[in-house]
Structure 1
Amino acid sequence: MTKFKYPLFLLVLSVFITTSTLSLHAQRLDAGIDSLISRDFNDPNGPGGVFMVSRKGKPVYQKAIGKANLELGDNLSPENVFELGSMTKQFTAVAVLMLEQEGKLKVEDPISKYISDYPNGEKITIHHLLTHTSGIKDFTKMKALSDIAQKEMTPKMMVDFFKNEPADFAPGEKFEYNNSGYVLLGYLIEIVSGERYEDFIKKHIFDKAGMGRSLYASDRKVIDKRAYGYHKKESGYVNKTIISFSVPFSSGSLMSTTGDMLKWQNALNRNLLLDAKEINKAFSTYKLNNGVEYAYGYGWHIRDVEGTPTREHGGSIFGFKTMAVYIPSEDIYIIGLSNCDCNSPTKLVGDIATFVLRGIKEKHW
């Protein structure tokens, strides 16, 4: 019996050391990210942000700082629902690829195939819309935008609002970030599927991915644990400017939580929504007419953090700013959601990604 005691002791010691090491690494991770967040988000009594880092599909760090509602004094938590702004474009792009996978359209199709009277529509393809290379005037840069900002617009009304504006350049000539292209994509989704955009996204993406806290934005609906949006003026914080979500539409009108956005990332990784061939189109880079490559796929910027490839996108809409970075090689997803457009999480999320990657390389976790 005596001879088994020493190996058993070594086993127990090994488990203890391993557990202690993992605990130390976790503490180092938490402390490092806490320090970065407190640099940029340091007002517990103002609007703030919610942050999450996940690895291999599971959260390894979560933090909420600030208030979800200044009038009621409610603290932010990971359960709060935020407006995503342009992170909506990921969902629109994947919806288009889902329709392609079903054989209902091709990204090479000219938009004139679906909207016969669209100016120069025979030369502008769905691919151009997805990659911000269409040359169509961005409606957010039009002076007349204030005339419709609070009106209830149909997708066709939105398309008609900008379609006769002079083009900024010929299709495929330049990459220039463009919200109009993604509004057009939402309209095409409705034409091809026969469903409203918000219904299509809910049924075919949110429900399939188990994203029960995600929805098309509304200021009228009662939304459990809604984070309210704010601006910061010289006099202090004020409630966000009210707009009609039918204006940004499929370019920026979805809402979600950090937890649901992780479900979204996991669904993409598991090919739950698209097969590998289709989803890879979203994460590829493409070339302009002159052969110059640009770092944008379908709904994602294709970038890197210190040489490690990433897929990224942020968002900005009245009262909110958002940012997410995914690192495929490590299956790490980092997201920050802010409920004041005075606090952008873009640089912070990038800094967290750098910190985490360096920790992995140095075997800190």
Structure 2
Amino acid sequence: MKICFRLFLCHFLIFMSSASMQAQTLQSTLDSMFLSVFSARAPGGVVLVSRAGQPLYYKAFGLANLESGAPMTTDHVFRLGSITKQFTAVSILQLVEKGKLSLSDSLSKFIPDYPNGGRITIEYLLGHTAGVKNYTALPAFTEQLKRQDLSPKQLIALFKDQPLDFEPGSNQLYSNSGYILLGYIIERVSGRTYEQFVQENIFKPLHMDHTSYDDTRQIISNRLAGYRGGNGNYVNAPYLSMTLPYAAGSLLSTAGDLLKWYTALSAGHIISNESLEKAFTSFVLPNGEETGYGYGWEIGNIQGSKSVKHTGVVNGFFTDVVYMPAEKILVAVLSNNEYNSNLDISASKAAAAALGRPYRFDKIALSDKERHSYQSGYLNADEGERFIADQDGELYHYTRGGNKVLLIPYQKDAFNMERTLNTILFSRDSKGNIEGYQIKGVGNTRIWKKSKVPFAVPQKIKLPQKVLEAYIGKYAFGKMVFEVFLQDGQLYGRMGQDQKVLFPFGKNKFYAKDLDAVLIFNSDKKGIVISVTKVQNSEMVGFRM
């Protein structure tokens, strides 16, 4: 009996020691990750990682207020931006469960005079498949308008008479307007304002005491100042009337309250498990393609495990929340810097670390022959053509005229797309020839087939410095000024803050290192450079100033 007890105690201590080491490793990994994201004297953020409702990591970084120097705390309140959409979607599903409406109801049922409203369903609005024009992208959405308070009806009037982007249900395009309409439907059906409905049906029952509809006139404890900028240069975010994001992006919350939200969702306390499963399932288009969006959530995966997520970007704030339903792992990363867009990748990396399957892409060597075998054009019926080019001893992936993304080989036929969590996995036929590739990442998997149409890839040559110096100067493309300059023997092109490395592939021809664009310098009969032609999808000529 004593021997059995000793064996049990021994195994128990080993288990506890292993669990403690894993927790310490996770803490160390996440500390390293987020200390590199948030600077001590810059706008900061809060990071929460939990499993089954229990925090594994909960820390604040950086500053809450740059002017006072007040540090960030885990109690601070952030604008959520588009994370609001999941609360709107769940509110709709609550009304469905109460029999107040149906996902197949048409928009005309609630707004009888809405153009094409009979062809637009609530489900289409939830999944961004309604084709309703995005009001925040319209010319009428001016800086002056952003300072005005508008009612839901006035908001709808901004886009109501705009033509549809496509036949409802046939395609998918992210549109804030759809969630404005859903907020208005909630008000029409419930008889309560959107603010009142979410407060009474979600925040109050879940004791989400620090979550509310944003109102700049109210005194809200621990509400943060929001900023824009980077590299030590920050400005206060411009004013935005929070009546404008409305049901698409006007909520405030804390990381702690978001933990309450996801814990309640997973337990079936807000909507049924059946309704939640619908929200967590990608909409499927008539052609069988998954859109990668459910009801208020993007649908994807973290290292092969299903995830639902959303980012939020609103004046002064960038937020990202990832949830893995099967493992009940939650990652919430909230920042009071609108330009902190790398949080999206950081949140997914944190989720993978909590899962115990961190992302690793250790570069392996390829021979020139191996590397060149991947060079080709590739086709996808829905997303068009992509190119993979062997250039300067590296592989790059790009669209025609688009930015080049460096491909980092980490396994045979497997490449990481630099600064992303996406991987390109090549497939081969029975003879070992490359026939296509698929892109796998945190979203839907997409497949491209190898094209038989050859394409030329310019290769770098050396030119004497005297030749390079002949191209130095400023060139006018209409009102835009493009400057060519030489630094440490390397030619650069710059327009505004955007600067590109230029490599020669002919005496007067250059290509951009990280952009699918070519520059051809033109000379007069005396050999004096007078203009430059930019070839990037189309041609433009800039004249030397």
Compared CA separation, residues 235 and 213, structure 1 to 2 (3 A): closer
Residue 150 (structure 1) aligned to one of 147, 152, 170: 147
* Residues 1:218 and 2:236 aligned together: no
Structure 2: how far apart are the matches of 1:121 and 1:15? 63
1:3-41 CA distances to partner (integer Å, 9 max, x unpaired)? 85x666656555544333322211111001111112322
Matched residue type, 1:358: G
* Residues 1:79 and 2:82 aligned together: no
Aligned to 1:342: 339
Aligned to 1:351: 349
Counterparts of 1:80-99 in structure 2, within 5 Å, are 80-99=76-95
Aligned to 1:280: 277
Residue 262 (structure 1) aligned to one of 259, 271, 274: 259
Matched residue type, 1:47: P
Aligned to 2:45: 49
Q: SS where residue 184 of structure 1 aligns?
A: helix
CA contact (8 A) 1:48 1:343 kept: no
CA contact (8 A) 2:42 2:232 kept: no
Matched residue type, 2:344: T
* Residues 1:69 and 2:65 aligned together: yes
- Asked which structure has the greater CA Rg, the reply is 2
Aligned to 2:301: 304
* Residues 1:232 and 2:229 aligned together: yes
Aligned to 2:289: 292
Structure 2: how far apart are the matches of 1:359 and 1:172? 37
Aligned to 1:196: 193
Structure 2: how far apart are the matches of 1:330 and 1:35? 24
Compared CA separation, residues 360 and 56, structure 1 to 2 (3 A): farther
Length, aligned pairs only = 357
Further displaced range: 351-360 or 294-303:
351-360
Compared CA separation, residues 310 and 235, structure 1 to 2 (3 A): closer
Shift of 1:359: 4.6
Structure 1: how far apart are the matches of 2:306 and 2:126? 21
CA contact (8 A) 1:68 1:226 kept: no
CA contact (8 A) 1:49 1:66 kept: yes
Aligned to 1:22: 19
Aligned to 2:493: none
Q: Give 1 or 2: higher strand fraction.
A: 2
Residue 116 (structure 2) aligned to one of 93, 115, 120: 120
Structure 2: how far apart are the matches of 1:68 and 1:263? 23
Aligned to 2:484: none
Shift of 1:98: 0.4
Structure 2: how far apart are the matches of 1:317 and 1:273? 26
Aligned to 1:111: 107
Structure 1 stretches of 4+ moved >3 Å: 6-19, 358-361
CA contact (8 A) 1:229 1:340 kept: yes
**RCO comparison, higher one (Cα < 8 Å, 6+):** 1
Q: SS where residue 148 of structure 2 aligns?
A: coil
Q: SS where residue 100 of structure 1 aligns?
A: helix
1:337-356 CA distances to partner (integer Å, 9 max, x unpaired)? 01001212111101112222
Q: SS where residue 293 of structure 1 aligns?
A: coil
Q: SS where residue 58 of structure 2 aligns?
A: strand
Residue 243 (structure 1) aligned to one of 226, 233, 240: 240
1:287-343 CA distances to partner (integer Å, 9 max, x unpaired)? 223332211110011101121111111110011011111112211011100100121
Q: Aligned Cα RMSD in Å?
A: 1.8
Structure 1: how far apart are the matches of 2:43 and 2:331? 20
Structure 2 gaps, min length 5: 360-545
Q: SS where residue 173 of structure 2 aligns?
A: coil
Counterparts of 1:117-196 in structure 2, within 5 Å, are 117-146=113-142, 147-196=144-193
1:233-282 CA distances to partner (integer Å, 9 max, x unpaired)? 78821111111111110000001001100110011111111112222221
CA contact (8 A) 1:285 1:295 kept: yes
Q: SS where residue 175 of structure 1 aligns?
A: coil
Compared CA separation, residues 235 and 60, structure 1 to 2 (3 A): closer
CA contact (8 A) 2:283 2:293 kept: yes
1:127-168 CA distances to partner (integer Å, 9 max, x unpaired)? 110000111110010111114211111101101111011211
Q: SS where residue 172 of structure 1 aligns?
A: coil
Aligned to 1:33: 30
CA contact (8 A) 1:86 1:252 kept: yes
Structure 1: how far apart are the matches of 2:66 and 2:205? 34
Structure 1 gaps, min length 5: none
Aligned to 1:100: 96
Shift of 1:358: 3.2
Q: Give 1 or 2: higher helix fraction.
A: 1
